[in-house]
Chain A
Amino acid sequence: EDKVVQSPLSLVVHEGDTVTLNCSYEVTNFRSLLWYKQEKKAPTFLFMLTSSGIEKKSGRLSSILDKKELFSILNITATQTGDSAIYLCAVLPNTGNQFYFGTGTSLTVIP
Chain B
Amino acid sequence: SQTIHQWPATLVQPVGSPLSLECTVEGTSNPNLYWYRQAAGRGLQLLFYSVGIGQISSEVPQNLSASRPQDRQFILSSKKLLLSDSGFYLCAWSVSLGYNEQFFGPGTRLTVL
Contacts and interface: CB of A to CB of B under 8 A. Distances in A.
Contacts of B45: 101
A94 B100 CA distance: 10
Interface string A62-105: 00000000000000000000000010101010101111111110
A98 B42 contact: no
Contact of B100 (A34, A43, A44, A106): A34
Contact of B49 (A88, A94, A98, A106): A98
A100 B45 CA distance: 9
B44 A31 contact: no
B42 A103 contact: yes
Contacts of B94: 97, 99
B98 interface: yes
Interface string A21-42: 0000000000110100000011
A86 B59 CA distance: 23
B100 A92 contact: yes
Interface in A10-61: 10, 31-32, 34, 41-45, 48, 50
B107 A101 contact: no
B46 A41 contact: no
A97 B32 contact: yes
Interface size class of B (residues with CB under 8 A): 20 to 34
Contact of A88 (B43, B46, B98, B107): B43
A30 to B, nearest CB: 12
B7 interface: no
13 contacts: A41-B106, A42-B104, A43-B44, A50-B100, A86-B42, A94-B98, A97-B96, A97-B98, A98-B34, A98-B46, A101-B45, A103-B42, A104-B41
Q: Determine which residue in B36, B46, B59, B100 has the highest number of CB atoms from chain A within 10 A of its CB, and name it.
A: B100
A41 to B, nearest CB: 5
Interface string B71-111: 00000000000000000001000101010111111110000
Contacts of A98: 34, 46, 49, 57, 59
B41 A86 contact: yes
A101 B100 contact: no
